[in-house]
């Protein structure tokens, strides 16, 4: 039982290693309208727009990956989106982001 668990863990770690080795260091300037951040509806629309821009860039950044690509793109998108929201520093957008994260 323990051997199969250890083997499964090692296999998962081996497959995910390229994802952990990939860098998510890139510059991304997102387009958004600060005027839309006044309301929750506007902030939600801008959040979706920002999320799409980030996801597209993360997909492009990991295009050459063969193993664990989905994991790497999801991790990149999550980290980069959180960083973008933090840097925009708008309370309504931050609230929408926290809601989206669950």
Give the tens place of pLDDT for each residue, 37-53. 999 999 999 999 999 99
Does this model's pTM top 0.85? My answer is no
Give backbone dihedrals phi and psi of 51, rounded to 5 degrees, phi first: -60, -40
pLDDT confidence band for 25 (50 / 70 / 90)? confident
Which one is predicted more confidently, 38 or 15? 38
Give tens-digit pLDDT for 55-68.
999 999 999 998 99
Average pLDDT over residues 23-40: 90
Tokens 């492009």 found at: 60
For the chain, what percentages of helix, strand and coil (3-state, to nearest 5) are there? 75, 0, 25
Which one is predicted more confidently, 66 or 81? 81
């Amino acid at each position: 039982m323990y051997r199969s668990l250890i083997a499964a863990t090692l296999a998962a770690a081996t497959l995910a290693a390229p994802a952990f080795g990939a860098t998510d260091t890139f510059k991304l300037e997102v387009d958004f309208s600060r005027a839309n951040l006044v309301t929750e509806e506007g902030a939600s629309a801008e959040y979706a727009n920002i999320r799409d821009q980030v996801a597209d860039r993360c997909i492009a950044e990991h295009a050459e990956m063969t193993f664990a690509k989905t994991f790497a793109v999801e991790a990149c998108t999550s980290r980069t989106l959180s960083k973008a929201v933090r840097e925009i520093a708008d309370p309504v957008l931050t609230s929408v982001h926290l809601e989206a994260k669950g």
